Amino acid sequence: MAFVEEKYAVVVNSHSTYHDVLEIFLATFHEYCPHLKLYIFTDYLDTKLFRNWENIIIYKGKTFRDQYLFSLKQIEEDIILTLNDDYFITSPPKSVSVSYLVEKLKQSNYSQIRLHRGPNFGRKIDGKNLYHLDVNSSFFYSQTATLWKTKDLIKLYEGTAPSGIARKGNEQQFEVLANETAKELRLE
């Protein structure tokens, strides 16, 4: 399938134990976003699940951090939209709005534009409902729907110790550690 030239790609992290959920994500993504380039990070190439146009990256590493970092380094695009495999697309994206945000990100010192409001927001940046995130407050980094400069996300993962996201045993949690790394890197 030929892709319309976009200025970003979509990245979804998954694991074979969640491929039942990923199947629903893919069905909705194929319906509403067939023009977007999609990367899927996973541990297993399920030939019954994946079609020929997804870019499947079989990750390496023992921890979430190592697996995601390995996969990120395979990405060609400068800007990516990070999603989770349990995000189900319910309508076509507002392409004009997303394009505006991609351009805003490219032309700024910002590392990310998060696509939802959370507990960490400050002054309004412009008339498009953009708010500044405070790197010194909690939840600067969140494993959620976010437009990222790929190089900055790689720096964040490289600077964060090997860690996980599933709260298994006494495993350190990536999101918590990544917030400290973001402060050290002075990400915006």
Q: Residue 43 has what pLDDT?
A: 96
List, for residues 14-44, the tens digit of each pLDDT value: 999 999 999 999 999 999 999 999 999 999 9
Q: Residue 128 has what pLDDT?
A: 65
Mean pLDDT, rounded, of the chain: 90
Q: Residue 51 has what pLDDT?
A: 82
Give, in order, the Cα–Cα distances in Å from 138 to each of 9, 65, 73, 147, 182: 27, 19, 27, 19, 11
Question: What sections of the chain are H helices per DSSP?
Answer: 19-32, 64-72, 95-106, 150-158, 174-185
Give, in order, the Cα–Cα distances in Å from 164 to each of 67, 80, 88, 112: 10, 21, 23, 21
10 forms beta bridges with 38, 81
Kindly state the average pLDDT of the residues 151-162. 96
